[in-house]
Structure 1
Amino acid sequence: MEKKLKGVSFGEILFDVFLEHKKIGGAPLNVASRLSSLGADIAMISAVGNDANGKILVNYLKDAGINTEAVQVNDTYSTGIVNVILNEKGNASYDINYPAAWDKIEKSVENIAIVKDADFFVYGSLSSRDSVSRETLKELLAVAKYKIFDVNLRIPHYTKANILDLMNEADFLKFNDDELNEICEDLHSNKKSLEQNIKFIAEKTNTPTVCVTLGSHGAVLFHQNKFYHNSGFKVNVVDTVGSGDSFLASLIFMLLNGKSPQYAINFASAIGSIVAQSEGANPVISQSEIEDFLCGFEQTDCNSEESNTFSNN
């Protein structure tokens, strides 16, 4: 029987507003939602406004089995909104309102206790764009056991100095390829290949696990000084919103449950692809759907003992 992982996701919870509809989102919420669906015990640390959108978000988290005791209600700032623009390939760009309630996550004894009790702590760069949430994040990082940094660069909501500080705190780094290239350039890497730059970052920040997503070309994982690759799954993309978040959640779940790194990256890439061929960040994915998807591709061994690892709560 698998260990019941306990985790905390810190940062923005909000509404992604598209041209004709809106969807619940925010990278930390998306990660938490997918982790909960996989069977992890997840708490969310964030803030919403005292408004209708905030109530909807908190109810969504509760329905998803996520602990909301540390989701604060702010009477001054409204619940976060992001305007999402999709290009002809379904790739998204974002206009993120500021300030929002999640920029003002306050320090609390309760927050510290929740993080101390967890096996892992997930955070991103966007949640530290404001000094209030940034100071809270620093305090929580000081007590977290295992720290997972989703770099998630959003112009103009970060500084190079803050990104480097957050990277130096992490035990696990996740980038997309553009983010990796930007940060390696900032750090004056003279490396040419993707793998060389991944090792450069791992050594520069003393981080044992680094993962880089490559869009339709899959992902690369550097873990315990070895590289693992997934070349991607060909799907009809509806939109890419949240696909990287579900990828990260699935990779965390598999690695921390002791699955082989190769199986973990295959599984995570499959779930990310299924999300990309669905509308919105958090589609429901059944056990049979993920198993059928994985078994349809030669890079996954359907007879492996690790193939039967996905369970909904």
Structure 2
Amino acid sequence: MNLTPCITCFGEILLRFNTQMGLRLIQSAALNIYVAGAEANVAVLLARLGLDSRMLSRLPDNDLAEMAIAELRKYGVNTSGIAKGGERIGTYYVENGNHIRPTQVIYDRSGSSFSQLKPGMIDWEKQLVDTTLFHWSGIAAALSASAAAVCSEGINLAHEKGITISADFNYRRKLWNYGQEAKEVMPELLAYCKVAVADLDSVAIYFGIKAEENLPLTDRFEHCFALLKDKMPLLQTFAMSFRVVEGLNHVYFAGLAHEGKFYYSTIHTLPLVTDQIGTGDAFTAGLLYGLSSGFSPEKMINWATACGVMKQSVHGDWALISKSEIESFIQSGISTKINR
């Protein structure tokens, strides 16, 4: 890739409202607010790691949007590509679960500024100048037919310009409500991807590719990639993270298919998870950082996995971690020491 990588992320910027202290929504008198969104999560970590990271989106012209933009800028993300228009910023509400009860998410994104994007609204020629990698996710295409068409605009022009295209499959069942199923939309949009992150469920939903559930996760991953390569002929780098709950511990690791070979990360056992949301985005950002930095495949997958692990120690969507913290974690693993 270019010696000075510039990564442009395209997707919806959200506000996340979170219950406090493990309370249920029906118990809560107050909510914590975080700026969020899958692609924004990727952009923030890439910027914190020192890359030229740009966020391309659409927000209303109001103070809530300005607050969100200011938060992105605070962490180093270039926000010059965020268009103004429409009337509302999308939101979602989180009730954190525990080892007994799952985390619940309620979306309120219908009619948001981003969902009302239409072809021609974004000057893609301008926004992709100097871009070396264009990243998007299935969430952007799930919000409306017109938003999916805008995804197609950007993807096609990026492909014409020879820009590497990266996608996170990111299937969200609750968002596909505009009359088309994900399997009707996503395969065409994913056709030009050279880099992709997915889980086994999203691959099954988009492409009908399934592996026997009684097989080891590593075998299922390799089977999945072998079949997916026929559907996505340009795919060169494909990664997938895995979480297995064993008692009160979360076991987390990942696999990478890169230029015809398979690699697996160190297996991490997490005794505590502070916030699981955004883990996959941190993993994706770590992978893109590794690719952009010319890491070996072994280092790349361990770096991405470390980003995913460390995100789970931070409240909110964003992996507010540093390069030195990631490197230290890779060398030493989980630590309860006090840095003085």
Distance 1:142 1:176, change over 3 A: same
1:152 positional shift: 0.6
- Pair 1:156 & 2:174 matched: yes
Q: Residue in 1 aligned with 2:16?
A: 16
Structure 2, unaligned runs of 5 or more: 20-30, 177-181, 244-250, 335-340
- Structure-1-length-normalised TM-score: 0.86
Mapped to 1, the partners of 2:155 and 2:136 lie a distance apart of 9
Determine if the alignment matches structure 1 residue 142 to structure 2 residue 175: no
CA contact (8 A) 1:70 1:110 kept: no
Q: CA contact under 8 A between 1:72 and 1:105: conserved in structure 2? A: no
| Deviates most, 250-259 or 220-229 | 250-259
1:131: how far off?
2.6
- Partner of residue 173, structure 1: 196
Encode CA deviations 1:6-46: one digit per residue, 9 max, x unaligned: 01000111111112312111001000001111111121110
Q: Which amino acid aligns with 1:171?
A: K
Shift in Å, 1:116? 4.4
CA spacing shift, 1:57–1:281, aligned 2, 3 Å? same
CA distances 1:29-88 after superposition (whole Å, capped 9, x unpaired): 0000011111111211101122222111111122222221221122x3201101123221
Give 3-state SS (helix, strand or coil) of 2:196's partner: strand
Q: Is the 8 A contact 1:152 1:179 kept in 2?
A: yes
Q: Which residues of structure 1 form unaligned runs of 5+?
A: 299-313
After superposition, the Cα gap between the structure-2 partners of 1:208 and 1:291, relative to the gap in structure 1 and judged at 3 Å, is closer
Residue aligning to 2:93 = 83
Q: Distance in 2 between matches of 1:279 and 1:62?
A: 19
Shift of 1:154: 0.5
Cα distance in structure 2, aligned partners of 1:181 and 1:188: 5
* Contact residue 91 and residue 239 of structure 1 kept, 8 A: no
Q: Give distance in 1, aligned partners of 2:79 and 2:61.
A: 15
8 Å contact from structure 1 (residues 122, 148) kept in 2: yes
Conservation of the 8 A alpha-carbon contact between 1:229 and 1:262: yes
Q: 2:304 aligns with which of 255, 259, 268?
A: 268
CA apart distance, 1:123: 0.5
Query: Matched residues in 1 for 2:136 and 2:197: separation?
Result: 11
Report the identity percentage.
Answer: 22
Residue 205 (structure 1) aligned to one of 232, 240, 262: 232
> Is the Cα–Cα contact under 8 Å of residues 149 and 166 in structure 1 kept in the other structure?
no
Task: Give the whole-Å Cα distance in 2 for the aligned partners of 1:190 and 1:88.
Answer: 29
1:1-313 to 2 correspondences below 5 Å: 3-19=3-19, 20-74=31-85, 76-89=86-99, 92-97=103-108, 98-106=110-118, 107-108=120-121, 110-128=123-141, 129-144=143-158, 145-158=163-176, 159-183=182-206, 186-187=208-209, 193-194=219-220, 195-206=222-233, 207-215=235-243, 216-235=251-270, 236-297=272-333
1:267 Cα deviation (Å)?
0.9
Using structure 2 for the length normalisation, give the TM-score: 0.80
**How many pairs were matched up?**
295
1:4–1:93 distance in 2 versus 1, CA, 3 Å: farther
* Cα distance change, pair 137–183 in 1 and its aligned pair in 2 (3 A): closer
Query: What CA RMSD, in Å, does the superposition of the two structures yield over aligned residues?
Result: 2.3
